[in-house]
Amino acid sequence: MQAGDGAGAYRNAADGVAGGRLAPQIVDTPAQLPVARWNALLARQATPTPFMRAEYLAALHDSGSAVPPTGWTPRFMLLWDGDQLAAACPLYLKTHSYGEYVFDWAWANAYAEHGLAYYPKALVAVPFTPVPGTRLLARDEAARRALITAVRDWCAGHRLSSLHLLYGDAADLAACDAAGLMRRGQVQFHWTNRDPASGRPFADFDALLAALTQDKRKKIRQERRKVAEAGVRFRCAAGADITPADWALFYRCYRRTYLEHGNAPYLTPDFFAHMARELADAWVLFVAERDGHPIATSLIAVGAGQSSAGGQNTSNPEAVAYGRYWGALERVDGLHFEACYHQPLDWCIRHGVARFEGGAQGEHKMARALLPVATHSAHWLAHPGFADAVARFLEREGAGITDYLEHLRTHSPFRTLRPG
């Protein structure tokens, strides 16, 4: 299918928006995206992230990371109002459910047991990126509703089993609600740069420790002491200061850790080469060294409100950091926690970053000052019987998620957030 094919299938969905007609277009490679217009529309959204930038999405494709042979076939949807981009989203056809972090394997198995094909399915998401944020780029809410309706109707017209929007923001979810998609909840763990007692940003890492309960404070100090006593020291490189040798070291660590768990890494070396060339300012690298030799790395991204990852220490109420990747060449007790949480949080405090998102899953993150938050996806299934069954399942699962969140919040690591 070529870009623009099947436009007639969307005419009804795009009619009447803002008093006119929006013309749909399907783009089958991110290289065809109108980069400047896409990024300008992204910048207008409530929760933009660097992972929705056209350069990031193109790098996933051009590097061979998210391409048809790996199960990701791009069919990006754009809605045009004349020569103005009114709405757009990344849309993929998927032949499996790997790299999504919202688990629907049971749904696929149920389809198979009844002789039905679950794959290919449609996915509005950023590959391999469980980061909440805007997925439906739109100039206004009417255009956002038109976009998800057009995507849903395109899926129905192509007889796809289902459509799934992953890690959307509140505006996305409202549009999905209006289009008849079903919500699904999950839990992540995020840190906020705000002392619960004073309401002000933390002055330094010691101030963060002082806000924690005694047992959590003691645990973190013990972890950091073990790493230091093992002779491990850290250095940090941000933005353009991350050298080619640093990137090569990072990938060596990243790949090694994946392979140790019996998996090949999702991302190729060429993907990170694209990041170094095109989005260097979005990244901060922490390198652990012992006896002058590197032994581990962790990589975080910084977006929204931070002009550069290498910016100076000024309070930035809009800046968000995202824990993304890590890897180690040697085993040291506590090294993972130091590289992935303590070092990044220290950096965030010193650079005035407002929030650090720790990625998918992991109750252990609460002991490192990250708190539980709800994240959401939205789902449409074409088969009425399966849609009804999934709706009942999601109702039960949703009640369990609500109870789980309430339980977690009674075990806050912060002294002033404990119940009673």
**Does residue 120 belong to any structural domain of this protein?**
yes
Q: Are residues 272 and 210 in the same domain?
A: yes
Q: Are residues 196 and 59 in the same domain?
A: no
Distance (Å, rounded) from C-alpha 244 to C-alpha 249?
9
Q: Are residues 229 and 151 in the same domain?
A: no
Distance (Å, rounded) from C-alpha 197 to C-alpha 263?
43
Q: Are residues 194 and 333 in the same domain?
A: yes
Q: Are residues 79 and 213 in the same domain?
A: no
| Residue 156, pLDDT score | 98
pLDDT in tens, 336-356: 999 999 999 999 999 999 999
Q: Are residues 345 and 240 in the same domain?
A: yes
User: Final residue of a domain: which of 180, 208, 228?
Assistant: 180
**Does residue 392 belong to any structural domain of this protein?**
no
Confidence check: pLDDT of 220 > 80: yes
Answer with the residue of higher pLDDT: 12 or 287: 287
Residue 78: which CATH number? 3.40.630.30
pLDDT in tens, 167-218: 999 999 999 999 999 999 999 999 999 999 999 999 999 999 999 999 999 9
Which domain range does residue 42 map to? 7-180
Mean pLDDT across the stretch 374-392? Answer: 98
Answer with the residue of higher pLDDT: 2 or 402: 402
Q: Against a cut of 0.75, is the pTM above it?
A: yes
Q: Are residues 176 and 194 in the same domain?
A: no
Which has the closest alpha carbon to 201: 353, 305, 340?
A: 353
236: Cβ–Cβ under 8 A, 6 or more apart, which residues?
Answer: 284, 285, 286, 287, 343, 347
User: Final residue of a domain: which of 373, 390, 409?
Assistant: 373
Q: Are residues 162 and 197 in the same domain?
A: no
Q: Are residues 341 and 361 in the same domain?
A: yes
**Does residue 273 belong to any structural domain of this protein?**
yes
Q: Are residues 135 and 268 in the same domain?
A: no
**Does residue 410 belong to any structural domain of this protein?**
no
Confidence check: pLDDT of 8 > 60: no
Per-chain mean pLDDT for the chain: 92
Q: Are residues 154 and 209 in the same domain?
A: no
pLDDT in tens, 107-118: 999 999 999 999
Mean pLDDT across the stretch 292-316? Answer: 71
- The dihedral region occupied by 365, where left means phi > 0, alpha psi between -120 and 50, and beta the remainder, is alpha
Distance (Å, rounded) from C-alpha 33 to C-alpha 78?
9
Q: Are residues 159 and 265 in the same domain?
A: no
Distance (Å, rounded) from C-alpha 341 to C-alpha 216?
14
User: Final residue of a domain: which of 358, 373, 388?
Assistant: 373
pLDDT in tens, 16-60: 344 458 999 999 999 999 999 999 999 999 999 999 999 999 999
Contact 173, 37 (CB under 8 A): no
How many domains, in total, are found in the chain?
2
**Does residue 241 belong to any structural domain of this protein?**
yes
| Residue 14, pLDDT score | 46
**Does residue 86 belong to any structural domain of this protein?**
yes
CB count, 10 Å around CB of 230?
A: 15
**Does residue 222 belong to any structural domain of this protein?**
yes
- Max Cα–Cα distance, the chain, nearest Å: 67
**Does residue 2 belong to any structural domain of this protein?**
no
42-51, 310-319, 342-351, 393-402: segment of lowest average pLDDT: 310-319
Answer with the residue of higher pLDDT: 143 or 306: 143
Distances (CA, A) of 261 to 1, 74, 251, 270: 37, 29, 16, 22
| Residue 317, pLDDT score | 63
| Residue 5, pLDDT score | 37
| Residue 418, pLDDT score | 56
pLDDT in tens, 264-285: 999 999 999 999 999 999 999 9
